[in-house]
């Protein structure tokens, strides 16, 4: 499989990156993981709007789902005619949340998408086997273990320290892990990870490679990397738009 980083800015878009969005491709099937604010524009550099086969939303914070509102418009009013409906996997209440954000009385995201409520467990989406597990975040949030042809990528979504993340990522080739915080006193609990905590999770899960993502624009990328390098000794990199794994 190939994973392309479309957006990796944490909590809101930055000057050089949209908010969270990743494109997973295998056997000609294209699946988006999250579609945060700004990501619909950046996506078009890597895939046509009519070339997406499924969407998987980790949670309903704006920086992970809000560009679904614009994507609904693009699919429903495409010049070639309405595009075929595609499945959207997300937490309970995803369609209602997106309709509230869209704010229109005469259109609904359900015109363009078939919504499937995620629950913890394993499911098949196209050629991918996906295991979803609850993360440690203030709203219902799923991390994903995505496997295809013997290769596995794990994605933390947004999370504070999480045993579930360690098991979801166990032995994965790549862990795409959030590192929203840099070390400091009195960080909020059960919300996000520091670079050092991302490294700890990667080390405990025994992953082959760690990629730090959800990097918040006002924090130092170099510091996030340096913190993670203290706790994880394997291959380590920082996500950047256009990066392919």
97: contact with Zn ion by CB under 5 A: no
Closer residue to Zn ion in complex, CB, 63/200: 63
- Min dist. Cβ of residue 12 to Zn ion (A): 9
Give DSSP secondary structure letters for 60-101: -SHHHHTTHHHHHHHHHT-TTSSPPPEEEEESTTHHHHHHHH
- Footprint (CB under 5 A) of Zn ion, residues 103-162: 158
- Min dist. Cβ of residue 188 to Zn ion (A): 12
67: contact with Zn ion by CB under 5 A: no
- Min dist. Cβ of residue 127 to Zn ion (A): 27
Q: Report which DSSP code applies to 215.
A: B
Q: How far apart are CA 76 and CA 111, in angstroms?
A: 7
**Host H or E run for residue 151:** strand 151-155
Closer residue to Zn ion in complex, CB, 30/61: 61
Among 42, 57, 61, 133, binds Zn ion (CB under 5 A): 61
Q: How far apart are CA 198 and CA 205, in angstroms?
A: 11
Beta bridge mates, 236: 210
Q: How far apart are CA 143 and CA 138, in angstroms?
A: 14
**Host H or E run for residue 204:** helix 195-205
75: contact with Zn ion by CB under 5 A: no
- Min dist. Cβ of residue 173 to Zn ion (A): 24
Closer residue to Zn ion in complex, CB, 26/224: 224
Are the CB atoms for 7 and 39 separated by under 8 Å?
yes
Are the CB atoms for 5 and 18 separated by under 8 Å?
no
200: contact with Zn ion by CB under 5 A: no
Closer residue to Zn ion in complex, CB, 91/199: 91
Beta bridge mates, 2: 25
- Min dist. Cβ of residue 219 to Zn ion (A): 13
Q: Which stretch binds Zn ion (CB under 5 A): 39-47, 56-64, 117-125, 199-207?
A: 56-64
Closer residue to Zn ion in complex, CB, 147/162: 162
- Min dist. Cβ of residue 214 to Zn ion (A): 6
What Cα–Cα distance (Å) separates residue 230 from each residue in 174, 177, 208? 18, 16, 16
Closer residue to Zn ion in complex, CB, 19/169: 19
Q: Which stretch binds Zn ion (CB under 5 A): 61-69, 147-155, 160-168, 232-240?
A: 61-69
34: contact with Zn ion by CB under 5 A: no
63: contact with Zn ion by CB under 5 A: yes
Q: φ, ψ for residue 74 (rounded to 5)?
A: -60, -40
Contact residues: Zn ion, CB under 5 A = 61, 63, 158
């Amino acid at each position: 499989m190939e994973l392309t980083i479309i957006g990796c800015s944490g909590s809101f878009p930055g000057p050089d990156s949209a908010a969270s969005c990743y494109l997973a491709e295998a056997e000609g099937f294209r699946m988006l993981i999250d579609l945060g604010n700004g990501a619909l524009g950046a996506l078009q550099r890597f895939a046509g709007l009519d070339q997406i086969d499924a969407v998987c939303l980790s949670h309903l914070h704006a920086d992970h789902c809000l560009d679904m509102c614009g994507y609904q418009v693009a699919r429903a009013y495409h010049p070639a005619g309405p595009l075929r409906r595609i499945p959207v996997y997300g937490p309970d209440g995803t369609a209602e949340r997106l309709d509230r954000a869209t704010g229109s009385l005469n259109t609904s995201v359900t015109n363009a998408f078939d919504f499937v409520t995620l629950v913890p467990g394993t499911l098949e989406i196209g050629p991918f086997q996906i295991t979803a597990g609850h993360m440690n975040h203030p709203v219902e949030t799923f991390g994903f273990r995505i496997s295809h042809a013997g290769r596995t990528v794990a994605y933390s979504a947004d999370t504070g320290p999480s045993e579930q993340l360690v098991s979801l990522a166990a032995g994965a080739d790549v862990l795409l892990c959030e590192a929203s915080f840099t070390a400091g006193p009195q960080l909020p609990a059960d919300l996000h990870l520091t670079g050092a905590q991302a490294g700890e999770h990667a080390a405990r899960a025994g992953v082959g490679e760690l990629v730090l993502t959800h990097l918040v624009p006002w924090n130092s990328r170099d510091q996030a990397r340096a913190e993670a390098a203290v706790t994880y000794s394997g291959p380590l990199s920082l996500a950047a738009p256009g990066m392919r794994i």
